[in-house]
């Protein structure tokens, strides 16, 4: 049976409270600099309202723009498996499919008002290697059979990421209530920054560097040699690995 251990902060002193304020500011700044930085999540501020139009195609291929990072700024589900290809394949309601665009590595609608409807879109990403994946909103991202040295993942909102494979150094940033499950990603080092109530599963062999500002939770599926933690608030780290302490 897996052993469950909880690492938490209790009995905050005045100095801890002061530290918490500093840590929260630091976490927000760290997310700004390391999370969604570089991704184009500008939501076309002057976009027209979405209209059904006369589109009939339930799928289409969109050329990838060459970016080495992916941003998901709609409510659909995207899938990535390393391989070949330079196009994004989109399936779903014809009215929605017709409005999907790729700009500076970000996949989004070119109109406003159909955010909820976009959750039924299914998106297959190109197989080239990406160094960063990000979600703004409630989208879902599945990363399968990863095999690379470094990777950054970021969620702003309630989105979710599920991944498996091998990544030597992985960095996760969550602002909000997002969930990033990397429990089946093997690697040497994992760095986690949570601002809010997000959740993350990680399994690094050598080092885990965990920062939580708020009520976030980190599930540790391994026993790394080095565990560095900074927690401001009610956040917790759960060691659920066999023989966890």
With helix as H, strand as E and coil as C, how does the chain read? CCCCEEEECCCCCHHHHHHHHHHHHHHHHHHHHHCCCCCCCCCCCCCCECCCCCCCCCEEEEECCCCCEEEECCCCEEEECCCCCCEEEEECCHHHHCCEEEECCEEEECCECCCCHHHHCEEECCCCCCCEEEEEECCEEEEEEEEEEEEEEEEEECCEEEEEEEEEEEEEEEEECCEEEEEEEEEEEEEEEEEECCEEEECEEEEEEEEEEECCEEEECCCCCEEEEEEECCCEEEECCCCCC
pLDDT tens string 138-188: 999 999 999 999 999 999 999 999 999 999 999 999 999 999 999 999 999
Domain boundaries, the chain: 1-34+140-245, 43-130
Confidence class of residue 48 from pLDDT cuts 50, 70 and 90?
confident
Q: Would the pTM of this model clear 0.75, i.e. be above it?
A: yes
Report the distance separating Cα 237 and Cα 217, nearest Å.
Answer: 6
Beta bridge mates, 141: 78, 161
Q: What is the pLDDT at residue 127? A: 97
Confidence class of residue 37 from pLDDT cuts 50, 70 and 90?
low
Domain 1-34+140-245 sits in CATH at 2.160.20.120
- Residue whose entry in the numeric block shows the structure tokens 């299914």: 122
Q: Are strands 226-232 and 204-214 parallel, antiparallel or unpaired?
A: parallel
Tokens of 41: 């999540």
pLDDT tens string 84-103: 889 999 999 999 999 999 99
- Residue whose entry in the numeric block shows the structure tokens 């965990």: 210
Confidence class of residue 8 from pLDDT cuts 50, 70 and 90?
very low
Residue 24 has pLDDT above 90, yes or no: no
Report the distance separating Cα 86 and Cα 64, nearest Å.
Answer: 5
Report the distance separating Cα 175 and Cα 57, nearest Å.
Answer: 36
Residue 56 has pLDDT above 70, yes or no: yes
Q: What is the pLDDT at residue 90? A: 98
Residue 77 has pLDDT above 70, yes or no: yes
pLDDT tens string 188-197: 999 999 999 9
Lowest mean pLDDT across 7-11, 21-25, 202-206: 7-11
């Amino acid at each position: 049976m897996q052993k469950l251990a909880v690492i938490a902060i209790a009995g905050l002193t005045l100095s801890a409270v002061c530290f918490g304020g500093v840590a929260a500011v630091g976490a927000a700044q760290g997310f700004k600099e390391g999370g969604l930085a570089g991704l184009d999540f500008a939501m076309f501020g002057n976009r027209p309202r979405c209209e059904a139009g006369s589109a009939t195609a339930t799928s289409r291929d969109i050329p990838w723009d060459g970016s080495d990072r992916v941003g998901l700024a709609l409510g659909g589900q995207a899938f990535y498996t390393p391989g070949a290809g330079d196009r994004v394949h989109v399936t779903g309601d014809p009215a929605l499919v017709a409005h999907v665009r790729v700009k500076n590595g970000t996949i989004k609608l070119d109109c406003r008002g159909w955010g909820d409807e976009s959750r039924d879109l299914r998106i297959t990403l190109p197989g080239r290697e990406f160094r960063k994946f990000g979600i703004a909103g409630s989208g879902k991202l599945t990363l399968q059979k990863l095999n690379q040295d470094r990777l950054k993942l970021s969620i702003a909102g309630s989105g979710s990421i599920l991944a498996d494979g091998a990544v030597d150094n992985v960095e996760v940033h969550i602002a909000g209530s997002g969930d990033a499950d990397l429990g089946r990603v093997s690697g040497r080092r994992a760095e986690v920054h949570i601002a809010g109530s997000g959740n993350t599963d990680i399994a690094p062999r050598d080092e885990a560097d965990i920062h939580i500002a708020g009520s976030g939770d980190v599930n540790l599926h391994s026993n790394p040699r080095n565990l560095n933690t900074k927690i401001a608030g009610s956040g917790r780290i759960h060691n659920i690995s066999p023989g966890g302490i």
